[in-house]
C-alpha cells in the first residue's frame, strides 16, 4: 500500500526552566486506505501528536514526510496550503459557523481554495451532505441540527477539498451512543471504501474494534498493538 505519511524521531517539547515533553521519538507510517486509532489516557500526548501530523504544530526535532516529501523546511504559507488542500480535520466540537447553513459551511473550504465555480462547489457540497444522510438539512443553520447531524456536517466539510488524509480528534466526544456509532462507521468507510487514510484520536473503546491498527501512547511514547 502507498505510504501517505511517515515520521522519523518526531519529538515536541515545551521549553522552560523544566522542559515538558509532549511526544518523544515517534516513528510512524500511515498508509492509504488505513483506519488507525491512537489511544491513551488523558495527557498522554494523543492530541499533541495529531496536531503534529496535521501540520498544525511544528516538531522540536524529527521529521514528517508527506507523500514522500520532507515538510521540515516548508514555510507557514506552504503548510497552510497543504492543510487546506490535502488534509481534512474533524474535532470534538464541530466549529460550524452559526450564521451559515450546513451547505454553506461545507462550501467554505472550497471557496478558500478558489479553484471551482460556485456551481461546482455547491454540487460537491450537496453530494457530500446527501451521502452522509443530510439531504433534509442542507439549508438548516447549525442551531437547527442535532449533535450528530452537526458532526456529520463537519465531516462533509473536512472532505470538501478531497483530502487524502483525515485526522479526527475525539470526534464522538460530545455525541450520544447512536450518533457515535454512525460517525465511527462513516470514518471507517472513508478509509476502506474511499481509500483515504484516517487517523482518529479517541478515548472511545468502540473505535478500537473497527481499527485496522491501534497505537497506544503513554507519556508521549508509542506502543503499537
Encode the chain in three state secondary structure.
Answer: CCEEEEEEEEEEEECCCCCEEEEEEEEEEEECCCEEEEECCCCCCHHHHHHHHCCCCCCCEEEEEECCEECCCCCHHHHHHHHHHCEEEECCCCCCCCCCCHHHHHHHHHHHHCCCCHHHHHHHHHHHHHHCCCHHHCCCCHHHCCHHHHHHHHHHHHCCCCCCEEEEECCCCCCCHHHHHHHHHHHHHHHHCCCCEEEEECCCHHHHHHCCEEEEEECCEEEEC
- pLDDT number for residue 7: 97
- pLDDT number for residue 208: 83
Task: Provide block-wise average pLDDT over 10 residues at a time, the chain (225 residues).
Answer: 94 88 95 94 90 96 95 95 95 92 98 95 97 95 95 95 94 86 91 95 86 92 76
- pLDDT number for residue 25: 94
When divided into structural domains, the chain yields a total of: 1
- pLDDT number for residue 225: 57
CATH number for the domain that contains residue 208:
3.40.50.300
Return the residue matching grid coordinates 462533509: 156
146 lies in which domain range? Answer: 3-223
- pLDDT number for residue 224: 64
- pLDDT number for residue 179: 86
The structure's pTM equals 0.91
Helix axes 102-113, 76-85, angle to 10 degrees: 140
- pLDDT number for residue 9: 96
- pLDDT number for residue 190: 92
Amino acid at each position: 500500500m502507498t505510504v501517505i505519511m511517515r515520521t522519523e524521531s518526531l519529538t515536541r517539547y515545551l521549553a522552560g526552566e523544566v522542559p515538558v515533553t509532549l511526544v518523544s521519538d515517534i516513528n510512524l507510517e500511515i498508509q492509504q486506505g488505513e483506519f488507525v486509532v491512537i489511544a491513551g489516557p488523558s495527557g498522554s500526548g494523543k492530541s499533541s501528536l495529531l496536531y503534529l501530523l496535521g501540520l498544525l504544530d511544528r516538531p522540536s526535532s524529527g521529521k514528517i514526510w508527506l507523500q514522500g516529501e520532507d515538510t521540515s523546511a516548508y514555510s507557514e504559507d506552504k503548510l497552510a496550503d497543504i492543510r487546506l488542500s490535502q488534509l481534512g480535520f474533524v474535532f470534538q466540537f464541530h466549529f460550524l459557523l452559526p450564521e451559515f447553513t450546513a451547505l454553506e459551511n461545507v462550501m467554505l473550504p472550497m471557496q478558500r481554495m478558489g479553484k471551482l465555480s460556485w456551481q461546482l462547489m455547491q454540487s460537491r457540497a450537496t453530494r457530500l451532505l446527501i451521502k452522509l444522510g443530510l439531504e433534509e438539512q442542507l439549508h438548516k443553520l447549525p442551531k437547527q441540527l442535532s449533535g450528530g447531524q452537526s458532526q456529520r456536517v463537519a465531516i462533509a466539510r473536512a472532505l470538501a477539498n478531497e483530502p487524502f488524509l483525515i485526522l479526527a480528534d475525539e470526534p464522538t466526544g460530545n455525541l450520544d451512543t447512536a450518533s457515535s456509532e454512525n460517525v465511527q462507521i462513516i470514518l471507517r468507510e472513508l478509509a476502506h471504501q474511499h481509500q483515504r487514510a484516517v487517523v482518529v484520536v479517541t478515548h472511545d473503546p468502540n473505535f478500537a474494534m473497527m481499527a485496522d491498527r491501534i497505537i497506544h501512547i503513554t507519556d508521549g511514547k508509542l506502543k503499537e498493538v
